[in-house]
Structure formats: structure tokens, C-alpha cells
Amino acid sequence: MSVLVLGLGNSLMSDDAFGVRVVEELQRRYVFPPDVKIIDGGTLGFDLLPFVEEADRLLIVDALQMQAEPGEVFRLAGDEVPRAFASKLSVHQMGVQDLLAVAELQGYCPRELVVWGVQWASIEMNIGLTPAVAPALERVVNEVVGELKEWGIEAQDAA
């Protein structure tokens, strides 16, 4: 079983960096089995296709536009994911829906697809998460580790 944890976002645009920051924390704190890839997908778009095509399970972390209070955490799964990325992400983000559609057209579709995200407060040019979103970082790191555990994947402390 191949698992891909993909953090998305632009590190130069405040809360848009949320997915990237979560992945950085996962890489810093934990060691995962060889069949688990933890990738900073940044804004790579279709360059991520080979990684997505290899994944039996795909977990995406990103800042979302869910018309909610900044800092609110969301978990989306299965069919909820393409709809959310089609209509609720900001326009500057990569086309996750297109990436998933191309992978599926080529015969590669993750058996399981989950998104952990946070409602952003700002996606203006600025380094660092806003005070409204920063507290969600720890929660989502823990939620991702918990999700992986449910998939039978144990994260080992990097100590």
C-alpha cells in the first residue's frame, strides 16, 4: 500500500502556506515507513501527477475557502473533495480537481482520498500564518497522524 501526504500552498502568501507548514512539521517530528511519502507540493500543479498516480491512498492538506470562521478545521473525504476544490479554493491555487481528473483518466485513482484543511484568514503576500490560523497547525498535524494510524500506519518520533 502506497500512501501520499501532500501539503499544498504558497509559502509566501500567509495562510496559503498552511498545507506546506503541516508537512514540514510532519517531516520534522516523525519518521514514516518507506511506502509513505510526505511531500511539500507547494504550487507544483501537474508536476505532482507521478506521485498521485503511485498512491493507493492520498491525504491532502491545504488552506480552504469554506466560507467559515478563519482557523476552522475541515475534513473532507471521497466525493466531497473534487467538489470542494472546484468551487471553494481561491483562484490562485493549483487545480487539484484537474490533477485528480487527469490521474483518473489515466487509470490511477487513489482508493481513498481525504483532505484536511483550514479556513484561511489571509492569503496576501506575507510570511507566516495569521494568528487566527496558526493554532490550527498543531491540531491538523495530530489529525493527519491519527488518520494515518487508522490506515494502519504508525508514525515514529524522529527524536
3-157 CATH fold: Rossmann fold (3.40.50)
Write down the domain spans for the chain. Answer: 3-157
Residues listed for the chain: 159
CB 28 within 8 A of CB 59: no
Instruction: Inform me whether the pLDDT recorded for 93 exceeds 80.
Output: no
Rounded to whole angstroms, the Cα distance separating 28 from 103 reads 29
Give tens-digit pLDDT for 41-68: 876 677 777 777 788 999 999 999 899 9
Which amino acid appears at position 71 of this protein? Answer: G
Residue 155 DSSP class: P
Contact partners, residue 56, CB within 8 Å, separation at least 6 = 1, 2, 3, 110, 111, 112
CB 49 within 8 A of CB 108: no
pTM, entire model: 0.88
Instruction: Inform me whether the pLDDT recorded for 72 exceeds 50.
Output: yes
